[in-house]
Structure 1
Amino acid sequence: MQAEEPVNSPDMVVPEINTLILLDREVDMVTPMLSQLTYEGLLDECLHVNNGSVELDASIMGLQQEGKKIKVPLNSSDKLFKEIRDLNFEVVVQILRQKATSMKQDYTEVTTTTQSVSELKDFVKKLNSLPEMTRHINLAQHLSTFTSKPAFLGQLDMEHTIVEAQSYDICFEYIEELIHKQEPLVNVLRLLILFSITSSGLPKKQFDYLRRELLHSYGFEHMATLNNLEKAGLLRKQESKSNWLTIKRALQLVVEDTDTANPNDIAYVFSGYAPLSIRLVQHAVRSGWRPIEEILKLLPGPHSETKRGRFSSSPSYDTLQASANIDKVADGRRSLVLVVFIGGITFAEISALRFLSAQEGMAYDLIVGTTKIVSGHSLAETFVERLG
């Protein structure tokens, strides 16, 4: 807009939003195909969060209403949810256990010793959070029935193997086995898309073989599904060497020994994989995209970086300045960066952005905008054609 209609510097108002980062989902289709491991991300993976709530059987929430569905709200007005939504699920289970144990000890003290009125008042105050505790313990218990299944753990293991680009043959055999077992089609498609993107397509022989096996297993009406994936470039024959290893190393996407309880990197949201999309945001706010120019050329689509100069009428191609003194708004608050995902963002990526924003030395507050919230399931589902 600035290039089309230059603004004269006297008319320019210093905007509250200092920087806009626009990312097309196509730049990073690897991240949404992976299973999210944050609490909110996992809720979406297993129960499909819709407009800030999940719908599930009343019996799961401990209510005696067999077969009745209830909506469970998930938003920041629930203090406990606000505290645990962005954490890795492993850590959430530990926190809920600690809170329940502490409440049990308080209860024992109240019932076995004489308490002053103010001590009783404190205990009653704690009891106010009991409904939230019960809600999340029930939800976590239900999620554990998914996460403890061998199929889930196997899928997780295979996702990491594919991302690390370790063994082509093992990945190929695993996907073949899933097809023969007739595992849910969407699960197979997610791995297939992940495999195809990271290896820059499948060799013709394997491509034709998996295509044929998939149609035999799930029905020939899915020719349209495979066609959709090919048209979108998410399933393709290998025509060139994969750039994934170079991208992975340059942006440090795989982080060994990730501490999920005390994370120091965004990789905690996938237990060892840092979302490519959020690494790009990280680079943009730290030093601009200039230093990683060569890596950006390996990603899909064009990229550009424009700075609106305060005293020039035309934008100059320059880096984003991430120094706190330049970017402090007049009243001392941190500047705002608006990060917009066109084509959807996952809850795990939102958690990674919140984590970034909370880091010491971060010169910005981040606001996230998106066309929709997505998961690997909802994205893969859009390609599935059900004929008849």
Structure 2
Amino acid sequence: MEMNASPNSRNAQQNIADFNRTLFFSALDALDGTKVLVWEQLLMTPFNMVAGATTLKQHKVVAMYDLNECGIVSSIEHTRVVYVISSTFTAIMKLIAHLNSIRTLRFTDDRSHHVLIVPEATLALRERLQQNREVASMIVSVESLPIRVYPLYEDLFTLLMDNTPAKLLLNNDWTELYKCASALRQLELLALSLPNIRCKGKWSAQIAEMMKKMRNDVNETSAIRGKWNITDIVIIDRWIDPLTPMLTQHTYAGLIDEIITFGPSGNLTANFFPKKDGSEGDIPTTRSLRDEIFLQLRDLHIRNVGKCIVQTVGEVRDEKKILKEYPSMESMAERKVFVRRVVEAEEKEFNTRIHTAIAEHLMGAVRDDRQMSKFLEVEMNIIRGVYGERVIPFVEELMYDAFQPSRVLRLIALQSLTYGGLKPTTYGTYLRLFVQTYGAYETALWIKLQLMGLIYEKQPRIKCNYAPFEFQLSTKRLGCFAESDGNDEKAVSSAYSGYIPILIRHIELGVSNEWKDWATVSSPDQLCLDSNSTTLIFVLSLWNAGIKWVNDRDTVQWGLKGEVFDALLLENL
């Protein structure tokens, strides 16, 4: 049951973390003297994965502030202010407002202001800063900080690219593909040799072509070569299988994201977390779920979570018993080992209490919330053809009750994708009820989903950017339905009550036939195929573009199960 991280997974995470730290510290060390960091709030948590406060002090960082909350930072302890912001116009406007507030106070400011834009200081962003002459005169330098990939867990990386589908399908912003290609190119440069690139889907093909050009571009050639043995980078469009994100995962992580909601960096905010002193939580608290126990529970079916927690409680109890009976310690080394084990046992016990509270909350929602249990039932009935193409009574009831519109639209989109579009009468009934219940403001979300090809009539009048999805044909060809009772932890079908996602079936088929049906850019190097070989799987156009890695080709199916970021957050469109 326990999912211990292999040395390969730790090495993969360490490779990315070390590369990011090198980029960040090089940018900081290029600025002499003591400095203060002012963060855009959005980047504070992701950069905790890069460097902590203690490490930053070694690079002459004397203080850190939130851009949203900091006023005029005292200049007594430092000579430089470094602003770390994302590459968005929203962040630029916040920075301009902050610098304007300093300027209006009319005090002598001898400090130099520097801006680091993550991951790229584009020409458009630089020009926006230059438009405000007073602010531009205060800024000494504007540089790119090309950190593109963040290790979320030991086997999962994220690019933190929000709303990629909307940008591609609604705004036709193809620079998103270039950003993905640049991130994957960074990973290539950490490998022993250039890996093969496998791709499926038109967006993935464009990324592969960009990476091929980057390889051939003399200006892009880099001497960076790591020790990470990546043999294949597998790129696949999420839009090959847009249906699966509409479903509720029955895993621990899937239900957390459904009921409580993860932040973009794996953080969770709730008011029921227990406190260190043993008392019950009463105010909203944010916790980072990246501990060892979460990695054990993450991909388990919710019904198996309790058994795993009980096992962990037993392990903690046994460890504390051993520590109580610990023999006398004569050397300093023995004392250090004892103290470390005590701290680890206490931390593990506290994390167990945290996950017990989360599991109780999830089980309460699944067991006691009639609508939640009904959602799970209706979703499976839709994809198994119980309702056909007629109007679903439960969806009508939700609209009569003015239930959360994004949840209603997920069910409508699920039915639409299952049958290759809705019959005109069904489509008209849903649309009329939706407009009457939610009004014009929420109807804009319906229109966006229609433009993206998630809700549409049979023989649609609106042509979408991506080809229509043929669910029934694909599931029959790939064999996507299997019997599952949720007890087989390694069966991906347990996450969806017997349904195996089409995207995963495509990858499994690619592995079994050596990527016969996938477009491939072959490696120019001699690849080393051994037990340490790693395959990176990049799923393009998630709401947070993400990368999974697997080093055992036989576990691809299990390695992709329980994707935390694979929930469709319609509110963000």
Return the TM-score normalized by structure 2: 0.50
Q: Is the 8 A contact 1:339 1:366 kept in 2?
A: no
1:34 corresponds to: 247
How many pairs were matched up? 334
Q: Distance in 2 between matches of 1:287 and 1:135?
A: 44
1:367 deviates by 10
2:355 corresponds to: 136
Q: Is the 8 A contact 1:74 1:81 kept in 2?
A: yes
Question: Of residues 308, 317, 331 in structure 1, which corresponds to 2:522?
Answer: 308
Distance 1:169 1:308, change over 3 A: closer
Q: Residue 426 of structure 2 aligns to which amino acid in structure 1?
A: Q
SS at match of 2:520: coil
Q: Distance in 1 between matches of 2:352 and 2:436?
A: 47
Is 1:282 paired with 2:508? yes
Within 5 A, what are the aligned runs for 1:1-388?
A: 1=209, 16-50=229-263, 51-58=265-272, 63=279, 66=282, 68-75=283-290, 78-100=291-313, 117=326, 129-148=348-367, 149-168=369-388, 172-239=392-459, 243-256=470-483, 258-290=484-516, 304-308=518-522, 310=524, 328-329=528-529, 332-344=530-542, 357=550, 361=554, 373-376=565-568, 378=569, 380-383=570-573
Q: Distance in 2 between matches of 1:33 and 1:96?
A: 29
1:165 deviates by 2.3
Question: Unpaired segments of 5 or more residues in structure 1?
Answer: 294-303, 312-325, 384-388
Percent identity at matched positions?
21
Q: Distance in 2 between matches of 1:361 and 1:200?
A: 33
1:333 deviates by 3.3
Distance 1:99 1:4, change over 3 A: closer
Distance 1:365 1:337, change over 3 A: farther
1:327 deviates by 6.8
SS at match of 1:339: strand
Q: Distance in 2 between matches of 1:153 and 1:364?
A: 27
1:65 deviates by 5.8
Return the TM-score normalized by structure 1: 0.72
Q: Residue 344 of structure 1 aligns to which amino acid in structure 2?
A: L
Q: Distance in 1 between matches of 2:386 and 2:558?
A: 37
Distance 1:38 1:345, change over 3 A: farther
Offset from partner CA, 1:186-237 (integer Å, 9 cap, x none): 1101111111111111111111111010111112333322211111111111
Q: Residue 478 of structure 2 aligns to which amino acid in structure 1?
A: L
Q: Distance in 1 between matches of 2:556 and 2:424?
A: 48
Question: Unpaired segments of 5 or more residues in structure 2?
Answer: 1-208, 328-337, 461-467
1:17 deviates by 2.3
1:320 corresponds to: none
SS at match of 1:306: strand
Q: Is the 8 A contact 1:346 1:375 kept in 2?
A: no
Q: Distance in 1 between matches of 2:355 and 2:373?
A: 22
Query: Relative contact order (alpha carbons < 8 A, sep ≥ 6): 1 or 2 greater?
Result: 1
Q: Is the 8 A contact 2:272 2:357 kept in 1?
A: no
1:239 deviates by 2.1
Root-mean-square deviation (CA, aligned residues, Å) is 4.1
1:3 deviates by 6.5
Distance 1:341 1:106, change over 3 A: closer
Offset from partner CA, 1:341-362 (integer Å, 9 cap, x none): 2211789x98xx67xx486845
Q: Residue 422 of structure 2 aligns to which amino acid in structure 1?
A: L
Offset from partner CA, 1:251-287 (integer Å, 9 cap, x none): 121211x143334532122231112212212222221
Q: Is the 8 A contact 2:273 2:285 kept in 1?
A: no
SS at match of 2:482: coil
Q: Distance in 2 between matches of 1:36 and 1:18?
A: 31
Q: Is the 8 A contact 2:508 2:556 kept in 1?
A: no
Q: Distance in 1 between matches of 2:394 and 2:527?
A: 49
Distance 1:60 1:187, change over 3 A: farther
Q: Residue 396 of structure 2 aligns to which amino acid in structure 1?
A: E
